Amino acid sequence: MSLSNYPTCPVLVVDDDLISVTITSATLCKCGLNNVLTCTDSRQVMDLVSQHRIRIVLLDLVMPYVSGEELLQSLSENYPEVLVIILTATEEVDTAVRCIKAGAFNYLTKPIDFERLFAIIKNALAFWELRQENLAIQQSKFSTNLSQPEVFAKIITRDAKMLQIFQYVESIAGTSEPVLMTGETGVGKDLMAQAIHTLSNRQGPLVAVNIAGLDDIVFSDTLFGHSKGAFTGAERVRGGLIEQASKGTLFLDEIGDLAAASQSKLLRLLQGGDYFPLGSDVLKHSDARVVSATHRDLWQLAKNDQFRKDLNYRLRTHHLHIPPLRERLGDLPLLIDHFLQEVAVRFSKPKSRISKSLVTLLEHYDFPGNVRELRMMLFDAASRTKSSTLSPRLFESYLRQNSAGATVAPRPASDNTPFDFTSHMPTLKQATDLLIQEALRRSGGNQTTAAKLLGISQQALSKRLKSQNH
């Protein structure tokens, strides 16, 4: 496998001393920064910057032809996005202050402390990406349109909150910083991960791994690979999924289930891109972008000492929360239509129709399994009927059984809810009458649907309504 470039855009080292340039370039490469250009003639710097997508320049101050301070001024005026790190033997405070005021990102005196320089460069890369992200987010605020709506085609929605998430994803997709997606099971986090990867235009693949159930050894071997002889049966070197994701995206699903021993290893990977294969003391570097997802509350896990606080912060450099289906019920008709079309194609049969009463019935179900559960329900119902219209009866048993055991968060009560007892406690007859009125309101006056919501027959509801009128 060819060694991938890190960073993706070159770091330019400028110094008229060939030995100094060679040592600096070689040391950076040894530290994992292998995409480095060098220049010993200060007159060529501006041409190199214009020809290459250079983000960072390591610049000596004392040089013939064009001095470092002159170059710093030119770079600040013509390429303000380029971050300049001054490397010089001059220790004068006035010089350092003058360079920082002129736009230098940082200042380091010779002899160079390469460990510190490496840290400064990584900070500069993170700063550059954050600045680009902020620009993209600011631009997206002035537009309600998506640049590439086709990327989100598999996520069926017209919900305003979801469209805002799409805009946010477009804004952050180009950075290499980690993304954390939260949301209940079945909301489509895997589809969103695919969209993030597609929009990133990364050259490598999207590689997914489900963390749930992996102990530390299996996790380390799966993610980082192993060397020959690392454990019994390890007869040859094996690259892990992080290697397969080179130049691409690594999607870690169910990250909230990550074993405690594995969390420090993942943190090292996120902080510097560094990792050790099992049984090896040779440090490797990854340029894969990490996207993770969980249905668990990482803040609560961290509070209970089940998840590292620093890892939680690092994972959510970018964070998006996908709302559950019950909070975007306007998507329900679209999703039903989409899945019924999918059913028709899968079973080679005409597309089923649905009644308004069925949609109303489904609107009052909490969908603990979200979009994935809706798809399953429709596929099951369509496979069990020969009728051209899906009857609510096909869903009643399932809804009754699963509504009883659902543990989802309750919906906010409306001002007219019959269960608001803050003012007074109604009698049993008053509560029954209010409950019937609420069921009729939610069903749009349809007695058959209202009866199903109440769990009684239509005849029983009709009898109760007649008794209310007398």
186, 124: one domain: no
| Domain end among 135, 161, 177 | 135
Q: What is the mean pLDDT of the chain?
A: 84
pLDDT in tens, 403-447: 654 444 444 444 445 555 544 556 677 678 778 888 887 877 788
Q: Are residues 189 and 283 in the same domain?
A: yes
Highest mean pLDDT: which range of 111-115, 182-186, 200-204, 411-415: 182-186
Question: Does 460 have pLDDT greater than 90?
Answer: no
Give the span between the Cα atoms of 339 and 379, in whole angstroms. Answer: 8
Domains in the chain, number: 4
Is residue 57 classed exposed, middle or buried when 0-12, 13-18 and 19+ CB atoms within 10 A define those classes?
buried
Asked whether residue 414 is assigned to any structural domain, the reply reads no
Q: Tokens standing for 276?
A: 């050790």
**CATH code of the domain in which 346 resides:** 1.10.8.60
My answer on whether 233 and 346 are in the same domain is: no
pTM for the model stands at: 0.63
Distances (CA, A) of 239 to 120, 221, 407, 470: 30, 9, 42, 79
Question: Are residues 189 and 240 both part of a single domain?
Answer: yes
In a domain, 253, yes or no: yes
Q: Which of 135, 160, 184 is the last residue of a domain?
A: 135
Residue 455 belongs to some domain of the structure: yes
Q: CATH number of the domain at 435, please.
A: 1.10.10
* Cα–Cα dist 205/246, whole Å: 8
**Residue 158 sits in the same domain as residue 131:** no
HSE toward the beta carbon, residue 76, CA cutoff 13 A = 16
Q: Are residues 394 and 270 in the same domain?
A: no
pLDDT-wise least confident of 3-7, 74-78, 176-180, 449-453: 3-7
Single residue among 102, 135, 168 that ends a domain in this structure = 135
| Whether residue 296 sits in one domain with residue 318 | yes
Region 308-327: mean pLDDT is 92
* Residues 6 or more apart in contact with residue 94 via CB below 8 angstroms: none
Domain assignment of residue 466, given as a range: 428-470
Q: Is residue 89 part of a domain?
A: yes
In a domain, 293, yes or no: yes
Give yes or no for residue 32 having a pLDDT over 90: no
Of 162-171, 197-206, 355-364, 376-385, give the lowest mean pLDDT range: 355-364
CATH number of the domain that 182 lies in?
Answer: 3.40.50.300
Q: Do 304 and 163 belong to one domain?
A: yes
Are residues 199 and 127 both part of a single domain? no
Q: What is the pLDDT of residues 325-367, one digit of tens each?
A: 999 998 999 999 999 999 888 888 888 888 778 888 888 888 9
Domain CATH for 48? 3.40.50.2300
Q: Is residue 443 part of a domain?
A: yes
Q: Based on the fold, state whether residues 278 and 158 are members of the same structural domain.
A: yes
235 and 198 inside one domain: yes
Q: Is residue 65 part of a domain?
A: yes
d(CA 110, CA 112): 5
Give the model's confidence band at 311: pLDDT under 50 very low, under 70 low, under 90 confident, else very high: very high
Residue 187 contacts residue 325 (beta carbons within 8 Å):
yes
Whether 354 is in a domain gets the answer yes
Whether residue 78 sits in one domain with residue 208: no
User: How high is the pLDDT of residue 189?
Assistant: 95
